[in-house]
Amino acid sequence: MSVLATIDWIFIALYFILILGIAWWVMRQKTDTSDDYFLAGRNLGWFVVGASIFASNIGSEHIVGLAGSGATDGVAMAHYELHAWCLLVLGWVLAPFYMRSKIYTMPQFLEKRFSPTARWLLSVISLVAYVLTKVAVGIFAGGIVFGVLLPDINFMGLDSFWIGSILVIILTGVYTVLGGLRAVAYTETIQTVILILGSALVTWYGLEALGGWDELRRIAGSEMFNLWKPMVPAGMEGTWAPVKTSTTMAWYFNDNYPWLGMLFCAPIIGLWYWCTDQYIVQRMLGAANLSEARKGTIAASFFKLLPVFIFIIPGIICFALAASGKMPNIANAMLDEKGQIITANAQQAFPLLVASILPAGVRGIVVAGLLAALMSSLAGVFNASSTLFTMDLYTKFRKDVSEKELVRMGRIATTVIVVIGLLWIPVIQGSRGLYDYLQSVQGYLAPPIFVVFFFGVFNKRLNAQGALSALVVGFIMGLFRLAIDTPVALSDFTYEEGSFFWVLNNIFFQYYSILILIVSGATMVIVSYATEAPALERIQGLTFGTVTAEQKAETRASYTMREVVWSVIVVLLIVAAYLYFNG
């Protein structure tokens, strides 16, 4: 039986009318050039850039996953959300190079800085990763939301998971195919507002049902509000051993997030994602100029601070409502007979709150917010994938392509990605373990990409041979680990305890990620200095060491003290959050 009342359905219908209306208006605008279709004519304002970046990042999987981690591990995952400072690095450090280069894609920047081969390799890896991860986890999390809120919906043999996923994928695909980045960016701006409003209402009503913030801290306990203490399961001994043994559990194994991994690995993944991933940076590339691009990243950094309070805290609230006995239906769904949380059911925390504590009408607004999250993240990956394929791969094999042909191929590529998303549904629906498995993929793919971008910008001596070697070595290490992890993650297969494969499989992914980073970085430096230095005239303006005096002056003229002050405020808010969440 649906938990949605008639007024809820009205709000949901209004949401779809609003989004499709905006998409229709945008699609009537001119989109007959590659700049128009892939980068919104390079004319986006700062608020649209910031809201679009945030909306692309926050998908249903983000909401569902963060609330679930809040229910099981408290604020442990807030480390990742407090990476808002990475967006400041994008705006202040890398944006001048990207905007100056007039690129469409991140791989295209690698071609300008290093070689066409580096561009091609990164494009292929990014496309495969987007299809396997971003599309897959978005569908999975959306299915969970539909399953909880509309459990009994059935149409022609399809359950709520199928119906909801198909509907949202097709609707999102339509306006992404026809309108390009402009349609994506403007709809994401509205979706950001709805998402933040809806999620904030969940936190508000959740605290009201529980009895306030102090009651939440009392029931949940200090450890749920501690960012610094490693989460060691009851009965296990914390250890620095690199793998799990029969008597101890590493601080950094399975669902536990160690401070050492968070200190060194999490920022690398954050900088890769926020500063070099096409999925995110494409929105900034659509800005009207460097000033608007930087302001957009600062706005996005403010938005990025919100998930701690509107996604993670609701997960803790859900746990507290179950543990206190104030919500028997939540307790039945979340706790076992001993009163311990059922980890496998933790992903239901957010939709359970929506179904249990919100009044009619408000529930519809929040469901619209969940739909906004799902649609915005899917639109982002659809658009980024089509841009990578068209601008990096298609143009490699088809020289001198007309603008009209590029737009047509972009629409075809987007349609193909939408179809792949639909084909993913049965795979995702039947593989709960796949969702957790895919979360570690970025930990293996991020380090070599981080290395070539950041090392390449900061050191003019590093060359194409070094970059290509770092990418190849890093990706091989990542794929090797994925090949070892896959049988264990997706089946009951296990390696013999103590064997080489067993040891490798049991090393926590953050630590293996750090190993890839070290090896990739060393490879790039050694190979570069062992071979000929790049011609300075070829990389002019692409590294700090080759920026001209005129380019430096243009960068300085692109900001005022206002942007500096707001950036400092973001950093101070992050520091304040770390100081507060110390147990």
Asked if residue 60 has pLDDT above 60, the reply is yes
From 433, 342, 440, 428, select the one nearest 144 (Cα to Cα). 428
pLDDT, tens digit, 9 for 90 and up, residues 118-140:
999 999 888 877 877 777 666 76
Asked if residue 255 has pLDDT above 50, the reply is no
Asked if residue 414 has pLDDT above 50, the reply is yes
Asked if residue 40 has pLDDT above 70, the reply is no
29 or 556, greater pLDDT:
556
pLDDT, tens digit, 9 for 90 and up, residues 317-334:
988 888 887 888 787 877
- How far is C-alpha 113 from the geometric centre of its chain's CA atoms? 26
pLDDT confidence of residue 484: 87
Backbone angles phi, psi at 78, to 5 degrees: -65, -20
Q: Please measure the distance between the N-terminal and C-terminal CA atoms of the chain and give it in whole angstroms.
A: 40
Residue 402 DSSP class: -
Residue 393: pLDDT band (50, 70, 90) is confident
Q: For residue 539, is it within any domain?
A: no
pLDDT, tens digit, 9 for 90 and up, residues 265-299:
788 888 998 999 888 898 899 898 999 999 999 99
Q: For residue 369, is it within any domain?
A: yes
pLDDT confidence of residue 427: 61
Q: For residue 425, is it within any domain?
A: yes
Token look-up 């915005």 returns: 376
The SS3 call for residue 582 is strand
pLDDT confidence of residue 151: 64
pLDDT (average), residues 304-313: 89
499 or 169, greater pLDDT:
499
Q: For residue 525, is it within any domain?
A: no
pLDDT, tens digit, 9 for 90 and up, residues 63-118:
777 888 888 878 877 877 888 999 999 999 999 999 998 888 899 999 999 999 99
Long-range Cβ contacts of 287-290 (<8 Å, 24+ apart)? 287/42, 287/44, 287/45, 287/46, 287/49, 287/99, 288/42, 288/43, 288/44, 288/45, 289/99, 289/558, 290/95, 290/96, 290/99, 290/100, 290/554, 290/555, 290/558
Q: For residue 505, is it within any domain?
A: no
* Max Cα-Cα span within the chain: 70
Highest mean pLDDT among 11-20, 29-38, 159-168, 531-540: 531-540
pLDDT confidence of residue 249: 36
pLDDT, tens digit, 9 for 90 and up, residues 366-387:
888 877 777 777 788 888 888 8
For residue 494, the one-letter residue type is T
pLDDT, tens digit, 9 for 90 and up, residues 154-204:
666 666 667 767 777 777 777 777 777 777 788 888 888 888 888 888 899
Pairwise CA distance, residues 459 & 407, whole Å? 36
Q: Are 105 and 387 in contact (CB under 8 A)?
A: yes
Which CATH number do you get for residue 179? 1.20.1730.10
Domain that holds residue 218: 6-14+36-103+117-228+290-430+549-580
pLDDT (average), residues 436-449: 77
Cβ density class 430-460: b for 16+ within 10 Å, e for less: eeeebbebbebbbbbbbbbbbbbbbbbbebb
Highest mean pLDDT among 335-344, 345-354, 477-486: 477-486
Here the tokens at position 154 are 């059935």
Token look-up 């920026």 returns: 547
Q: Are 54 and 332 in contact (CB under 8 A)?
A: no
Helices (H) and strands (E) in the chain, counts: 29, 0
Q: For residue 555, is it within any domain?
A: yes
Q: For residue 285, is it within any domain?
A: no
pLDDT (average), residues 47-74: 82
For residue 371, the one-letter residue type is L
Residue 240: pLDDT band (50, 70, 90) is very low
pLDDT confidence of residue 461: 95
pLDDT confidence of residue 91: 95
Residue 236: pLDDT band (50, 70, 90) is very low
pLDDT confidence of residue 233: 43
pLDDT, tens digit, 9 for 90 and up, residues 522-549:
999 999 999 999 999 889 999 999 999 9
Asked if residue 145 has pLDDT above 70, the reply is no
What's the domain count of the chain? 1
Highest mean pLDDT among 36-45, 133-142, 303-312, 424-433: 303-312
The SS3 call for residue 44 is strand
CA distances (Å), 345 to each of 68, 130, 331, 336, 368, in order? 8, 26, 11, 10, 23
pLDDT (average), residues 553-570: 95
pLDDT confidence of residue 289: 92
pLDDT confidence of residue 57: 82
pLDDT, tens digit, 9 for 90 and up, residues 455-471:
999 999 999 999 999 99
Q: For residue 217, is it within any domain?
A: yes
% of the chain beyond a pLDDT of 90: 26
